[in-house]
Amino acid sequence: MRGLRALFAVALTVAVAASAVLVFVLITRGRGEENGVAALPPPALSTAEDGGGRPTVLLLRAEATARHFADVPGADPDAYDRRIEAWRRRIDAAGGRASVVDETALASALGAGTVVVAPSAAALHEDTVARLAAAVEGGAGLVATWTYGLYGADGAWRGYAPLAALVGVRALAGADAAEAPRYVALHGRTSVTAGIPAGARIEIQPYDRPLPLTTDAAVGEFVDWSMLARDPAAPAPQTAVARAVHGRGRVVWLNFEPGAVVGGGAAAARVDRLVANALAWAGGRPLGDLETWPRGARAAAAIGLDAEHEFAAGGPIAARFAASNVPFTSFVLTTVAGDHPETLRALAAASEIASHTHDHRPLDEQSEDEQRAQLVESRAILAALTGRTVIGLRPPEERTNGDTLAALAATGYHWIIGWRDKDRAEPWVLESGGKAIVVLPRVPHDDFEYVVRRDGRDVGASWAAMRSDLEQVRRVGGFYFFDFHTQFWNAPAIRTGVRHLTGLRNLPGVWLATVGEVAAWWRTRSRAATRVARAGDGAVTVELASGAATPELGVVVYLADSSAGWSVEAVRGAAPAVVAVGGADGGLRLVFRDLAAGERRLVRLVRG
């Protein structure tokens, strides 16, 4: 028996060494699982909106509101006018032309097709509130922020009735007593968040405390830094952004001022896009976006196993998932894998295989050369033991540094899950040396939270928290990834929670896949682009360009009114299948099939 073990050890060493040499040669020659093509940007689009001039937006400056804020102890008397001026600049940047009006001028200017912006219009005359509601009912658009209509012209408390009538808000008990929220997560695939990542996080400075309100019309909510619910036990999340159809008109409400956003960069760009979308949607202009997930799914989900300590537990785990016919991804720590060849074979038969590095040292403590050596050795061992080509990594403790991206790109990896930064609930693509790495975020808590930080024996509380995370990620339309470890498999909370999560395969609107399948989808999606624009004859043009061959891509188009009564005319390439989405956004799904690499499709949506 000792002789057989020694022989196996020698054979394994030889195989690993040979694989490592092969991987090294492929790397140095610039071959071997390279993905340079995927790093290229999407094809440029040519469709442009017809020239219709710059639409005029009525920007309301209410004298009653100016008096109200000036009466607040310690208030800056000019702050309200600076807010109005900031909105004037935002409207101009979004392609509109702001005409500043008071309540008297507003009354004579209202009409169907008018768009009104009412920044922090806390105090309004009763007839102004009524006129605006009637104008929206008749087809006008309204973009309101924060304290819209809460007070009368004399400063008396009116309450939330104006917002309730327009966007269906209701009060959240106790929310005003909690710490003021700082982070907003925007929902993906809605009219006013088109072009913004699902779950995109925006930080605000809550000097204007957001109102303790919630609504079913929400397309953004206040969350913690991780984009999860601030209070999982609350009956509903506190709304940050809402949109609603009211009669023939449309309303967008932001429970904060855009000027409160902290920092520049992505957050500022997201708010700019949010404002532009709000103005466009309220004004009846078409919007569109690529679908986030295949086949119209609302969210994607994957389950991961970190196969490390107590590696032998991987055997029953593999059997459990195989019996349920549920896909999952095993992240293998290769220092221990060689001691458990049968377990590794069972995992390879039941799951996708990816790397958890060779020796579990955090990558942020290593140089780029050290990281490369880790990644090459791990791939080589897994190739020798399973015959698989490994292209995915989950870094220990999710710790990476500025050298990790280059190390991944240089050693043949295509994706990584768990990154030092995250500000969205969907994947993104980073480039290094002409190669693309898909980065997948882990938004929900993993098993460490339930076994180490909490009581792993409290099955009910643990599953309630897991379910809250799942519902949150579904709500924002992002990627749900639950990861657990071999050493924690026997904790009651984890075994029960994983058993529940196998039901993801039957959850409506959720695409359950391996992590690698999600990364592959994102690689394809990141190489596509779409543009939706008005045509001069009342039609809407939709252009789609794909840099990669793919069997299907979907585009959601948000139209000026109901999605009913539209037909599709092919202009370039085959016409898509059309599915009505309905709801407040009035959307149509256009499903383009059998796209070749570099292909463009162009269609017109026309009435009748």
Residue 283 near residue 115, CB atoms below 8 Å = yes
Phi and psi for 320 in degrees, rounded to 5? -65, -45
Instruction: Give residue 564's pLDDT.
Output: 73
E-assigned strands of 385-539? 392-393, 415-417, 428-432, 435-440, 479-485, 510-512, 528-534
Instruction: Give residue 265's pLDDT.
Output: 86
Q: Which domains does the chain have, with CATH numbers?
A: 2-32+296-522 (3.20.20.370), 56-282 (3.40.50.880)
Instruction: Give residue 520's pLDDT.
Output: 97
What pLDDT band is residue 27 in, cutting at 50, 70 and 90? very low
By percentage, how much of the chain surpasses pLDDT 70?
A: 92
d(CA 191, CA 143): 14
Instruction: Give residue 51's pLDDT.
Output: 62
Q: Is it the case that residue 113 has pLDDT exceeding 60?
A: yes
What pLDDT band is residue 421 in, cutting at 50, 70 and 90? confident
Which residues does 202 contact at the CB level (< 8 Å), separation at least 6? 183, 184, 185, 186, 261, 267, 270, 271
Instruction: Give residue 119's pLDDT.
Output: 98
Instruction: Give residue 33's pLDDT.
Output: 42
Q: What is the DSSP string of 48-115?
A: ------PPEEEEE--HHHHHHHHTSTT--TTHHHHHHHHHHHHHHHTT-EEEEE-HHHHHHH--TT-E
Strand partners for 33:
none
SS3 content of the chain, % helix, strand, coil (to 5): 35, 25, 40
Q: Is it the case that residue 6 has pLDDT exceeding 80?
A: no
Q: Is it the case that residue 1 has pLDDT exceeding 60?
A: no
Our measurement of the distance from residue 412's CA atom to the centroid of its chain's CA atoms, rounded to an integer in Å, reads 27
Nearest CA-CA partner of 558 in 278, 168, 268, 266: 278
For residue range 289-333, list pLDDT tens digits in order: 999 999 999 999 999 999 999 999 999 999 999 999 999 999 999
For residue range 240-278, list pLDDT tens digits in order: 999 999 999 999 999 999 999 998 889 999 999 999 999
Is 207 buried (19+), middle (13-18) or exposed (0-12) by CB count in 10 A? exposed
Instruction: Give residue 22's pLDDT.
Output: 37
Six-digit token string for 479: 């990627």
| Between residues 95 and 5, the one the model is more confident about | 95
Instruction: Give residue 29's pLDDT.
Output: 31
Indicate the average pLDDT of the chain: 90
For residue range 505-525, list pLDDT tens digits in order: 999 999 999 999 999 999 999
Give me the mean pLDDT over the 563-574 stretch.
88
By percentage, how much of the chain surpasses pLDDT 90?
A: 80
Instruction: Give residue 47's pLDDT.
Output: 73
Q: Is it the case that residue 474 has pLDDT exceeding 60?
A: yes
Give me the mean pLDDT over the 547-564 stretch.
89
Give me the mean pLDDT over the 384-396 stretch.
96
pTM of the entire predicted model: 0.92
Give me the mean pLDDT over the 40-56 stretch.
74
Instruction: Give residue 74's pLDDT.
Output: 80
Lowest mean pLDDT among 180-194, 239-253, 334-348, 582-596: 582-596
Instruction: Give residue 334's pLDDT.
Output: 97
What pLDDT band is residue 565 in, cutting at 50, 70 and 90? confident
What pLDDT band is residue 31 in, cutting at 50, 70 and 90? very low
Instruction: Give residue 63's pLDDT.
Output: 97
Instruction: Give residue 9's pLDDT.
Output: 44
